[in-house]
Homo-oligomer: A and B are copies of this chain.
Amino acid sequence: MRIELPKDEMPRQWYNIIPDLPSPPAPPIHPGRMEPCTPDDLVDVFPMSLIEQDVSDKPWIDIPEPILDLYAQWRPTPLYRAVRWEQALGTPAKIYYKWEGVSPAGSHKPNTAVAQAYYNKQAGMKRIATETGAGQWGSALSYGCAMFGLGCTVYMVGVSYDQKPYRRLMMETWGATCYRSPNQRTQIGKRLLAERPDHPGSLGIAISEALEDAVPDPECRYSLGSVLNHVLLHQTINGLECKKQLAMVGDEPDVIIGCIGGGSNYAGHCFPFVPDKAAGKDIRFIAVEPQSCPSTTKGPYRYDFGDTAQTTPLLKMHTLGHDFVPPGIHAGGLRYHGMAPLVSQLIKEGIMESVAVPQTKCFESAVGFARAEGWIVAPETAHAVYVTEQEALKAKEEGVERVIMFNNSGHGYFDLAAYEAFLSGKLADYEYPVEEVQRALSVLPEVPEQ
């Protein structure tokens, strides 16, 4: 059952959770000075408008008209009641899901991509540089840049560049330039390729290359697709729509579920409901991460770099160590060593739960979901589907008509090889790589208490 929000009901402001947090967020630390960053530290990296959003204490931030116009190409996105899946599971629970797969890039990523492109355009930029793993973020930003006539330079992790050409082709169709990372165009790329000409790359290396490309160019800035406060802010349009859509059918959520890699899709989905919990409503927030990259369930909450090359400010977050290399699970978007500081803080403060799950169970649930609801979801999203199913079965056991909602953050059309691996019995699970995490955590920087 599809619940459509009329277009004139689309939210016109983003929700900023910062003023509603029980304690102020820990500031980013400049790794040279070991003191909180000032806006000036970041001015060559991001436009000032985004730097300001990162630290804003206003609970609501107006969405500029040109962004609203673009959102309206695919937003409000539908909220579904999963009636057929409920029946298949035999659960008394009511399951709702928000469907972000209808965007031009097929996921929630364009919510921040068009916003970031807009603010860069406003700041007089001609181009944005970014990194991408499997290509979800790179394709979304390529779309966003095309909409505002900006150039877009994407450094794509080498192994994905070689094995998954389709996302790169989307970027190129939208007019972006996509380079295999590491690349001879950058100093760090040259160095790594000299050591190993067929270097497979990593997200950390690609970030470093994008920064090296962007920072010296006065008409170019860098962009990140998750983790940072302003990215999470832009995603809150999702949860704000869900609130209105649930109100249309007279329901309120008891459990809200989403997958976390950098944290932005789930933050956008659930943050607008956090004040309701603070106001006394009994809501469980369940963030789902992969067993093989369990940053919030196994990683300490402490300062770490956002990238492998140690070029970003230090962020206080759950982390497995910036040097940690996660196993090659199919949910590439969940293979990140850290976690958004705002999501980390909510978990630390006990407002949000998190759980780590194995990928085979996720695909099993995703196939059941596809056969009931029709949608073939991304491997990342499958993590949310699995835990939703578990919660629905628990409600069945308990005989409770619980309202469970999850963020169906994107389609899996470019991930069907993973479905094939599952369907043919070839998909394996990875154990939590405890020694690799211990090694990565042993080289974390010591940061003085702020």
Q: Which of B1, B80, B143, B172 sits near A423, CB closer than 8 Å?
A: B172
Scoring A residues 147 to 188 as 1 if CB is less than 8 Å from chain B, else 0, what string do you get?
100000000000000000110011011110000000000000
Contact A169 B419 (CB under 8 A): yes
Picked from B7, B74, B172, B374, the residue with its CB within 8 Å of the CB of A104 is B374
> Within the oligomer, what is the number of copies of this chain?
2
Interface string of A380-413 (1 = CB under 8 A from B): 0000000000000000000000000000000001
User: A374 touches which one: B143, B172, B374 (CB < 8 A)?
Assistant: B143
A423 / chain B contacts, CB cutoff of 8 Å: 169, 172-173
Quick check: B175 and A376 within 8 Å, CB to CB? no
Contacts of A80 in B (CB 8 A): 73
**A194 at interface, CB cutoff 8 A:** no
Q: Scoring A residues 410 to 422 as 1 if CB is less than 8 Å from chain B, else 0, what string do you get?
A: 0001101101100
Minimum CB–CB distance from A104 to chain B (whole Å) comes to 4
Q: Which of B74, B106, B146 contacts A371 (CB 8 A)?
A: B146
A367 contacts B72, C-beta separation under 8 Å: no
Q: Contacts A7-B2, A413-B166 known; A376 to B173 CB distance under 8 Å?
A: yes
Given contacts A1-B72, A104-B374, A374-B147, contact A413 B413 (CB under 8 A): yes
List B contacts of A74 (CB < 8 A).
2
Chain B CB within 8 A of A370 CB: yes
Task: Give CA–CA (A104, B170) in the complex, Å.
Answer: 20
Residues of B within 8 A of A419 (CB): 169, 172-173
Inter-chain CA distance A6–B6, complex, in Å, is: 8
Closest to A139 in B: B376
Contact of A102 among B6, B72, B102, B370 (CB under 8 A): B102
Q: Is A353 an interface residue (CB 8 A)?
A: no
A83 nearest CB neighbor, chain B only: B69
**A375 is an interface residue with CB less than 8 A from chain B:** yes
| In the bound complex, CA of A148 to CA of B373 (Å) | 12
| A35 located at the interface, meaning its Cβ lies under 8 Å from any Cβ of chain B in the complex | no
Q: Which 10 A-B pairs have the closest CB atoms?
A: A104-B374, A169-B416, A146-B371, A413-B413, A166-B416, A173-B419, A169-B420, A173-B370, A102-B102, A172-B423
